[in-house]
Structures are given as structure tokens and as C-alpha cells.
Structure 1
Amino acid sequence: MNRAPVVPADWPAPAGVHAFTTLRQGAGFSAAPFDTFNLGNKYAADGDDPAVVTRNRAQLVELAGLPSLPHWLKQVHGIDVLRVDAPADPEAAEPVADALVTSTPGVVLAILTADCLPVVFAAKDGREVAAAHAGWPGLSRGMLEATLNAMRTPAVDVVAWIGPAAGPARYEVGKDVFDVFVSHDAGAAACFAPTRQDHWLADLPALARRRLVARGMVPADIHGGDLCTISEPARFFSHRRDGRSGRIATLAWMQP
């Protein structure tokens, strides 16, 4: 039984596929402003105590009943995808990448966010899962497409869940962000609502859906995207809202 404070993925997951996003409260040992279940930010100069983050991660494994230690990444807003075929080695350095994919049951994938999109993928036959971190820089450069490319399952046979992220009613961006998406896809302008001169509210989940469909996914197979990290301070960390912030984690695995 999963006793960790989490939001379960709301999607038609194949049998044996598990996914969720953690909440900021209900477990953990971190002090403010990382209170209390901070699972990341341990390498940042203004981050949490690394020993406390390690303790929080160990508690996650216990409370969630994970089949193995999660694969954690040093995320850099890039588009690199790492395939992993064995449980994480606790002595190994965390690799630099922004997405993970596996076809091995019992291997746990973990993505850290605090406003960026966490997106989980699963083959409809339950034989492969992936998890991606996509803030606007990675999303605009093709992070989600790169994740689908790294999977052995055709995009039309994949189902996805978009976890908690900065929502379209709260996430204001400037002309640089608007231009980078619209220059790639003129129709992406529909995902931006003007607020003031050269500023828009950006709908990151809608932008993600456009890109996933363009890459070959069936629109009805893309779920989630309705939970806003900025709007719910009691449940989620948000870098945009708070500045110094902890990280929630989105995990996915196939039952061994």
C-alpha cells in the first residue's frame, strides 16, 4: 500500500504501470522554505540540506513501497533522454539528463519539478514507461518528442499523463517565450492569452499536447494537465511563486 502523500496519475494506465506526483506536506523532514517533503534541490547553492533531502528520499521509498531505489537525475532543461535497464545504484553519481525510459519491470523513474511539466508515458501494452521534465526551454526544444523517440513503442501506441505544473491562469511569460513557440508552430499562439504589452499567460499543458499530437500521439491518449502548482501552496512547491523552493517528484514504474 502506498502511504506516501501523493497525487495518483489520473489516466487509463496499463495493468501493472504505476505513476504519481508527491505532495510537499504529509511526510519529510525539511525546514522552511523547503517544508517538508522536499525531494530535490540538494545541489543548489541556496538549496536544502543534502542530508535531509537524502532522508526524505529514503522515506519516499519506504512509504510508497517502491520496488527499487528511484533513478534521480541532475536536470538541466535539456533534451537528453537516458534509458535505464537496472535499478538505481545508490553509490553512482546522478547523470545529467531530463528524461528517463525503461522496459524493465521494477525500475523506478523519477523527475523533479516545481512548476515545469512532469510528463509520464506508458506503452499501451504495459511493456515500457518513460518520464520527462519539460519546462518551457526543454518543451520548446523538443524534450517530449525526444522522449517519444527514445521509446521503442510507436507514439500511436503510447498513453501519457501530464502532472502538476504552472497553470494557464497563473503562468505569465514574455515575448521571448511566446516567440520561441510560435516560430516553431504558428498555431501555438492559441495557447497564449495576452495580459499586457509583450506578456502572455502561457498554457504549458496545451503546448505539450500540441507537440505530442504532432509527434503522432492520439489526442484522447493524453491526460492530466489540470493541476496548477502556483495556485496550490499547501500541496505543491512552486519556484515561480516562492523563489526559493523545494521540489516535488513524479515517479513511474512497471510492477515487477
Structure 2
Amino acid sequence: MMKKSKIEVDWTVPDFVKAFQSDASLKFLNNFVDEQPKDLFGITNRKFSLVNQIHSNKVIQIYKNDHHFTCDGVFTYEPNVIVAVKTADCIPVLLSNKQGSFVAAIHCGWRGLSAGIIHETLKKIKTNSDDVIAWIGPGISQQYFETDRDVFDFFNKKYNFLTKHFIYKNNKFYTDLVGITASLLKYHGVQKIFGNSISQNYCTFSDGFLFSHRQNKTPFRLISMAWINA
């Protein structure tokens, strides 16, 4: 698997579908939603808003860059409208398709994943999942994601086939959040998957050029975003 100090969104999509993954060289505060840092404007040449994330399965379609939404999945069919999520251990997922007719960004924490955020996003987009192309961004790896039994129970109740992504040791469950994300994408029909654990291998906790809230309670976040350039 590829591992570089700068992460590229290495999916295979039409050239007019653009995407960007930040690293620790760009320091975005967790609480910014409406005021976009100048660094991102230099990358996209567009001002845009971020959604307020709440670890839910709520998904919203957006039609313009200036919006004020609370959700954990966002998608658009509109050209030049940017979808984005912020993370610092949770898993970011970007979606498009071979036609480049939409882009989506999903914030995948364990609560959102267990509540069905991936399924809700694909259902709202209303596209053939065989055509969907996914990119999994940087998140915490299993050896550093120590959880209590409640996390295991949440997944076991709704998606018991995901129990293979847990290791029980010293009265704790070590959870493979990246593996769960990839398995849920496949479970819901997405077969073209790129990025973390597949074509790349990154861990927010151990890779010093990324941000990890679990490691040091950082106020900074990584940004994963995509748009249809027109």
C-alpha cells in the first residue's frame, strides 16, 4: 500500500471531478463552519460552508456553497458546489460515480456507521451502487482505537457480520473503523473502493503529519472535500 507524507485522493473518476485531502500542514479549527480559511479558497477558488457534524446518520443534499446544515453526510449534483467533512480520527469517505454526476462526503464515526450513515447516503443519492466510486480517507487504525463493549454491541445488533473487525484484549475492544467502513460500502453495493486500507495506508494516531483527537485532544481537523468542476 502507498504511504506518503502528502495524501492524494487516488480514486478513478472523470477528470472534472476534483477532490482534496488536507494534512497537518493546514490547521483548520474544529469549530469553523461558516468562515472558510484562506488556504482552502486558494485550493478551490470558491468560498463554501462546512456542515455541523453530530455523529448521526443524517444526510442532506446541498444546492449552493453558502449553507447552514447539521448532518454527517452531504451530497450534490450541482457543478462548483463543494461537499466536505472534517475529521481527526473518524473516517472521511468521498463518493462519486463513473459519470461524475454527483459528489458526496461522509463523516464516518462509529456512531454514524452503526446508525447507517453509509446506507442513508447511498439511498438519498438514488443511484445504482454498482456505478459508485468511493475513496476512504485517513482515520485511526485498529491498534490505537480502544473502545468499550458498547461499541461492539451497537454493531453486533445491526451488522453482526462486522464483528470480525473487533479484537478483544485486556477487557477492551480494539475496533477497525477503517475496515468497518470498507465492509459497509461493499455491503451496500459499492465495489469500486480506493484509499485507506486498500490502495493507501494511513493512521491519524501514528502518522505525525495528520491530526488525532484521541492522541492529544487536538483542536485541529483534517478536511476532505470534492466538487464537480465546471
> Structure 1 length normalisation: TM-score?
0.81
Alpha-carbon distance in structure 2 between the residues aligned to 1:227 and 1:134: 16
- Structure 2 CA distance for partners of 1:20 and 1:244, relative to 1, 3 Å: same
In structure 2, how many angstroms separate the alpha carbons of the residues matched to 1:186 and 1:98? 23
The aligned residue for residue 231 of structure 1 is: 206
Task: Give the corresponding residue for 1:48.
Answer: none
Deviation string for 1:178-237 (max 9, x for gaps)? 11112222221111122212x12211121112212221222xx1121221101113x111
Shift of 1:148: 0.8
Rounded to whole Å, the distance in 1 between the matches of 2:159 and 2:23 is: 34
Cα distance, 1:67–1:107 mapped onto 2, change above 3 Å: farther
Letter paired with 1:41? N
Query: In percent, how many aligned pairs have the same letter?
Result: 31
Look up the SS of the partner of 1:144 in the other structure: helix
Residue pair 2:30, 2:219 contacting (<8 A) in 1 also: no
**Counterpart residue number, 2:184:** 211
Aligned-pair Cα RMSD in Å: 1.9
How many residues are treated as equivalent by the alignment? 222
Does the Cα contact within 8 Å between 1:103 and 1:127 map onto a contact in 2?
Answer: yes
Partner of 1:202: 175
1:159 match: secondary structure: strand
Q: Would the aligned equivalents of 1:67 and 1:106 in 2 still touch at CA under 8 Å? A: no
Superposed, 1:66-215 pairs within 5 Å as: 66-86=44-64, 88-89=65-66, 94-197=68-171, 199-215=172-188
Kept in 2: contact 1:103–1:129 (CA 8 A):
yes
Partner residue, 2:219: 245
- 1:99 is displaced (CA, Å) by 1.2
Q: Determine which of 59, 71, 74 is the counterpart of 2:39.
A: 59
Distance of 2:109 and 2:160 partners within structure 1: 20
Superposed structure 1 runs of 4+ greater than 6 Å apart: none
TM-score of the pair, normalised by structure 2: 0.89
Unaligned runs of 5+ in 2: none
Q: Which whole-Å CA distance do the structure 2 matches of 1:175 and 1:115 have between them?
A: 19
Q: For 2:28, which of 16, 29, 38 is the aligned residue?
A: 38
CA-CA distance at 1:245 after TM superposition: 2.6
Pairwise CA distance, 1:39: 4.2
Deviation for aligned residue 1:14: 2.4
Secondary structure of the residue aligned to 2:40 is helix
> In the superposition, relative to structure 1, how do residues 40 and 245 fare at CA in structure 2: closer, same or farther (>3 Å)?
closer
Query: Which amino acid counterpart does residue 69 of structure 2 have in structure 1?
Result: P
SS at match of 1:247: strand
SS of match in other structure, 2:167: strand
Structure 1 portions without partners, runs of 5+: 28-36, 44-52
